[in-house]
Amino acid sequence: MATDKTYTAESFRVLEGLEPVRLRPGMYIGSTTSRGLHHLIWEIVDNAVDEALAGFCKTVAVELLPDDVVQVVDDGRGIPVDIHKETGLSALDIVFTKLHGGAKFGGSGYKVTGGLHGVGAAVTNALSLWLEAEIKRDGYLWAARYEQGLPVEPVTKVAALEKAATTGTTVRWRFDPSVFEPDVRYSYTAVEARLREKAFLVQGLKFVLRWPGHPEKVFVSQNGIADYVREIDANGERTPVHQNVVRLVSEESADPQFAKAPVSVEVALQWTAWNGKTDEAERVHSFANVIPTTDGGTHVEGLKAALTSVMNRYAYEAGRLKQDKKESFHPKDIWEGLTAAVSVKLVEPQFEGQTKNKLNNSEAKSAVQTFVYSALSEWLRDRHVKKDAEAILERCIEARASRLARGRADTKRKKGVFDESPLPGKLNDCLESRPVEDRELFIVEGDSALGTAGDARDKTFQAVLPIRGKILNVLGAANDRIWKNTEIESILIAMGGKKEAVGKRVVASLEPRERRYGKIVILTDADTDGAHIANLLLTMAYELFPSLVLEGRVFLARPPLFKINLDARGEKFVYAYDEAERAGLVKRHNRKGEDVSRFKGLGEMPWENLKSTCFDPATRKLQQVAMEDVPESVEALNLIMGNGPVAASKRKSWLEEVGLEVPA
């Protein structure tokens, strides 16, 4: 045990060079899983994108070579190779071996950049078995090689370039397997999605992707984030209510106060038809200097303020709202059904934390608010998009009418005018002696599971609701079809929600004060059908009850597939959750085939086993459904559960790549 006498100066260690990165890689790339592995690519690609933002790069090529070697090539200026006077090192060595070193600290190198800390390329180098850089500039081809972050030979002049040769940077590397988890792998789907997104954010920049087993792909956008928004809604099976995406770009403005402003703003807006959600989660995708800001920030605040002001003014001018009667839109009326993207570029972005998830610059809010108010007002008055403008206004009017009707219905409900909706007949409810936050609703697969789950649960705080078969895939389904579905209606009512007709809509509500349970637990059989049903329920949860998912109230229970007896009496045993784990446990414990029993389903599982693995808080392992990156999570949901030919084609490609490796 340590004592105060052992805590001396000798207890301290000063980490040099790239040691901190290799010692604590998660601090720099998020994790040592496949997600962190891809971060090595993003860092090098983002450096090339910064060259494009500076006006010196037109093409970025990403290629996977044999033995998991990644190569990124750009046609920018090429990283400088001359000697830095203060350090005596080549600028190239500084970029790849020094943390917080580079040309992105407000000097003459870059005006706008997503890399603020000068650590990106060095991190990729530090976590690689080896890395090679080739630079074309100053009339020569230069080369350098590093191993585990350390230079193994000085920067070398290889050959003279032809007079017409272009400049640029090539970086190739092999990740260090000792740093990452054993099963990490590069994903074509993940790289393709990231390059596609970057192409939307940097208009005119061409990305080339070369990957074994796939045809070469080129991504380039001439309409910027307007194309991004259009694709999001197409993949998400949403129906736009207007033909043209609203595209507002400050640098293309005829007004010099916007065209030459220090903060450039790009906004894309598309309203979609009502899809039946109980609460409308915001679908705004925001970026600062081409970096996704998943938690929003001041630029999103500016967009919200501008949209509400503009739409109120437009409604007054069109005579759809009466200002003298104090009629107005609530911000929720504008954001319902809206898919929006906002991208700003500024010289000194200020992010909240090292992850850059939220923008804090106050000037970004005023820049976005001022520009969008002016540009959107002008767009709505343009006679060429008159039908689009009227459709957008009608969508907002419809949302306002539904909000007011829900409010009136809620007032009547509080006064007792409406009877409480009867609970579903098959619901085995819990006692109401515990607070709502402590209660749990288990949604189980079929009536046969109800019996076993009913015996396994703790009736004081755990309720069980069976559903029949595979429920409707709500992704892209029509509003009336969703709420006519018996199983979905049962889940809504069991949770404490209600539905009613409001005009042409069927409106469902699940207000926080109406909720009857603090946790929703999805419990299905441990087979492929069970996995499919769980996916359908997860899709339903996010599409219809997004606040429950975002608040972390939805969980997956994972029942075992096998029970392996460790003694003749079966008093000692272990569980296995898939075939591979079963084989490993049988070998480890030297058991035979007769010692293994397979659970055919929840209905045939002894209630004691189900209780210990799924219901007992002391022994169960519930998996919380979380969304670390909302746009990425939504994209994954659309990939797996989306309907239509576009979604089907993408899903086929994904299954061909990783389908056989994904556990059931």
Contacts (Cβ under 8 Å, ≥6 apart) of 28 = 21, 119, 123
Model pTM score: 0.71
What one-character DSSP code corresponds to residue 10? G
- Alpha carbon distance 509, 279 (integer Å): 7
Contact status, residue 310 vs residue 248, Cβ threshold 8 Å? no
- Residues taking part in catalysis: 445, 525, 527, 529
The two tokens of residue 201 are 């954010």
Contact status, residue 190 vs residue 33, Cβ threshold 8 Å? no
Q: Give tens-digit pLDDT for 503-562.
A: 667 777 788 888 999 999 999 988 888 888 998 999 888 888 888 988 899 999 989 888
pLDDT of residue 661: 42
- Alpha carbon distance 306, 334 (integer Å): 11
Which residues, in sequence order, are bridge partners of residue 95? none
What one-character DSSP code corresponds to residue 201? H
Contact status, residue 187 vs residue 42, Cβ threshold 8 Å? no
- C-alpha Rg value of the chain to the nearest Å: 29
Q: In sequence order, what E strands does 289-420 have?
A: 291-292, 338-345
- Of all residues in the chain, what percent carry a pLDDT higher than 70? 84
Three-state SS letters, 154-196: EEEEEEECCCCCCCEEEEEEEECCCCCCCCCCCCHHHHHHHHH
Average pLDDT, the chain: 84
Helix (H) or strand (E) holding 371: helix 362-381
Per-residue b or e along 398-433, where b marks 16 or more CB atoms closer than 10 Å to that residue's CB? bbbebbebbeebbeebeeeeeeeeeebeebbbbeee
Helix (H) or strand (E) holding 44: helix 34-53
Residue 109 pLDDT greater than 60, yes or no: no
Count each helix (H run) and each strand (E run) in the chain, helices first: 21, 23
- Alpha carbon distance 434, 338 (integer Å): 39
Q: Give tens-digit pLDDT for 597-636.
A: 888 888 888 899 999 999 999 999 899 987 655 556 666 6
Q: For the chain, list the domains and their CATH numbers.
A: 19-181 (3.30.565.10), 225-411 (3.30.230.10), 436-559+624-651 (3.40.50.670)
Backbone angles phi, psi at 568, to 5 degrees: -65, -30
Give the confidence band of 317 by pLDDT, cuts at 50, 70, 90. very high
Give the confidence band of 279 by pLDDT, cuts at 50, 70, 90. low
| Greater pLDDT, 497 or 310 | 310
- Alpha carbon distance 139, 165 (integer Å): 8
Contact status, residue 49 vs residue 103, Cβ threshold 8 Å? no
